[in-house]
Amino acid sequence: MGFPFASTNIDKEFLALDNVSFSVKEGEVLGIIGHNGAGKSTLLKILSRITEPTKGKAILRGRVSSLLEVGTGFHGEMTGRENIYLNGALYGLSRIEISNQLDSIIDFSQVENFIDTPVKRYSSGMYVRLAFAVAAHLQPEILIVDEVLAVGDVDFQKKCVDKMQEVSKSGRTILFVSHNLQTIRSLCNNCIVLKHGKISFRGSTSEAINQYVGTKNSDNDCSGLVKFDQNTERYGTGEVVMEEILVKNSKGEPTNTLFYQEDFSIEIKCRVLEPISNLALFLSLTDSADIFHGLSYTCDKFSNPCPDSGIISFKLSSRTQLLPGKHFILPCLSNMCRAIDQIQRAFAINVLHQGCMKSPSFPLQEVRGSYRLEGDWQVWQDN
């Protein structure tokens, strides 16, 4: 006889953070990214002394200012001005020190018309503006900021990023959590990727973003560089062979992840084994279903005979704004009559829906179409 209403729940131990250990240098701006539930907010709460870890310890040297949730540290019945003094006192500042920063805080927060109004009547955006202004202006040695900035409007978010860059240049340390990868990239030199409560990666921001969006696979190296060997699946007559392909973002960083409307470049290095005339490079783009999306080629840039041997490099500095999604690069060396060397799915580029700092995100979830890869070609022989 069954018991359909019997409880089947079994108590299990859940570790929000599991053996997380890292150090941050003075003046470093460290980004922390990861999917929802990865442990980002728990980590910041431990570092802010809000939550005590069950194991281990967090050692911080210097005054810590944190902005984790809307209204954290504010008393709803007190005015904005009174809450500034309250927060300053909690950070260990004297009334004189707070008064010296008062005008700057009010001006930055843009709530001067409501500074003597109880904050319980503030909108969430007003809360965030005032809270960030307090956290950033009270001269902390360590500034900890969570995704709460997403509540603010675009102009204020840009203003906050500029302020955090100013804070970091003054030698202070910043820990920044955000799902806005463009903001992370513009602000942070290094990143930690959290996954299921563990650090899955720590390194440069560009590589961390590649890891986070899940574009790393057996065909792509997260550095943005792929080298081809004799075992690479290819076809052609073989007088010239491609050795490697490198993709760089608008900042000149090797990557396989781009933002919507971001410029990029593609570099391909080739080895000449036999002389050949009228060599050209074709670059095609396809999607995961091998549907054609775009084409670019060097035309008659190399109409003269190639050297008998050596290395030839091609570079396309593209001005084409790729649509969001996964794109595969299919390079083909040709002399206009036959394929010299062609590699299927040589490299995968993942284009995010998020736009660059000054451009909007892509408004649609799915789009189809084709376009020409426009840009400037460079061809040169390496010594």
Q: What is the CATH number of the domain that holds 290?
A: 2.70.50.60
Q: How confident is the model at residue 304 (pLDDT cuts 50, 70, 90)?
A: low
The type of residue at 289 is A
What was the pLDDT predicted at 231? 64
Which tokens sit at 166?
Answer: 């100013």
Pairwise CA distance, residues 76 & 2, whole Å: 53
What was the pLDDT predicted at 306? 63
Angle at 59 between CA 57 and CA 60, to 5 degrees: 145
Based on the fold, state whether residues 202 and 292 are members of the same structural domain.
no
Pairwise CA distance, residues 32 & 190, whole Å: 9
Does the pLDDT of residue 38 top 70, yes or no?
yes
Based on the fold, state whether residues 246 and 349 are members of the same structural domain.
yes
What was the pLDDT predicted at 288? 67
- Interval 219-240: pLDDT, tens: 455 567 888 886 677 888 888 9
- Domain annotation covers residue 10: no
**Mean pLDDT within 196-204:** 90
Q: How confident is the model at residue 216 (pLDDT cuts 50, 70, 90)?
A: very low
Q: Would you call 45 helix, strand, or coil by DSSP?
A: helix
Helices (H) and strands (E) in the chain, counts: 7, 19
The type of residue at 219 is D
Q: How confident is the model at residue 290 (pLDDT cuts 50, 70, 90)?
A: low
Beta 310-318 vs 280-286: how paired, if at all? unpaired
Does the pLDDT of residue 152 top 70, yes or no?
no
Pairwise CA distance, residues 302 & 171, whole Å: 51
Does the pLDDT of residue 256 top 60, yes or no?
yes
**Mean pLDDT within 61-88:** 82
Global pTM reads 0.62
- Domain annotation covers residue 296: yes
Tell me the residue range of the domain where 121 lies: 29-212
**Mean pLDDT within 6-12:** 53
What was the pLDDT predicted at 218? 41
Pairwise CA distance, residues 32 & 185, whole Å: 11
Pairwise CA distance, residues 71 & 143, whole Å: 17
- Interval 306-364: pLDDT, tens: 666 678 888 888 877 788 888 888 898 988 778 889 888 888 888 887 776 555 566 55
Half-sphere exposure for 144 (CA within 13 Å, toward CB) = 21
Q: Give me the DSSP letters along 168-190.
A: HHTT-EEEEE-S-HHHHHHH-SE
- Domain annotation covers residue 217: no
| Other Cβ atoms within 10 Å of 161 Cβ, number | 19
Based on the fold, state whether residues 150 and 279 are members of the same structural domain.
no
Mean pLDDT of all residues belonging to the chain: 80
What was the pLDDT predicted at 116? 93
Q: Which of 179, 212, 245 is the last residue of a domain?
A: 212
- Domain annotation covers residue 17: no
